[in-house]
Amino acid sequence: KAGVTQTPRYLIKTRGQQVTLSCSPISGHRSVSWYQQTPGQGLQFLFEYFSETQRNKGNFPGRFSGRQFSNSRSEMNVSTLELGDSALYLCASGSGEVNGELFFGEGSRLTVL
């Protein structure tokens, strides 16, 4: 069974640009969550999508957005990039069960110059 796939794995952007990250969950999983991981803050929750609907949202500015498609694949977008957005963005796949196990991808490492 294939795991969670995130693309791209690495990317470099400059301030003011925008970026789109993609996540393909485990087959059959309907929940996709996104987390931002930085050395100082650990893992911070961005949002969760379940059956194409945003089920939960963290405390990030509106520059961070996401969506989920009918095949459960998800994308997140960050507009008007800032230096502080440099981080590892992790996608986690789940069955959709409340408080179920999360299966994380290896992440997309974003560097903003």
Partner 1 sequence: GENVEQHPSTLSVQEGDSAVIKCTYSDSASNYFPWYKQELGKGPQLIIDIRSNVGEKKDQRIAVTLNKTAKHFSLHITETQPEDSAVYFCAASENTGNQFYFGTGTSLTVIP
Q: Does 56 bind partner 1 (CB under 8 A)?
A: yes
Q: Does 25 bind partner 1 (CB under 8 A)?
A: no
Q: Does 34 bind partner 1 (CB under 8 A)?
A: no
Q: CA–CA separation, 27 vs 12, rounded Å?
A: 29
With contacts defined by CB under 8 A, how many residues of the chain interact with partner 1?
28
Q: Does 84 bind partner 1 (CB under 8 A)?
A: no
Query: DSSP states of 31-84 as a string?
Result: EEEEEEEETTTEEEEEEEEETTEEEEE-S--TTEEEEE-TTS-EEEEE-S--GG
Q: CA–CA separation, 85 vs 64, rounded Å?
A: 10
* Candidate ranges 12-20, 35-43, 66-74, 75-83; the one touching partner 1 (CB under 8 A): 35-43
Binding site for partner 1 (CB under 8 A): 4, 31, 33, 35, 40-45, 48, 50, 55-56, 58-59, 90, 92, 94, 98-102, 104-107
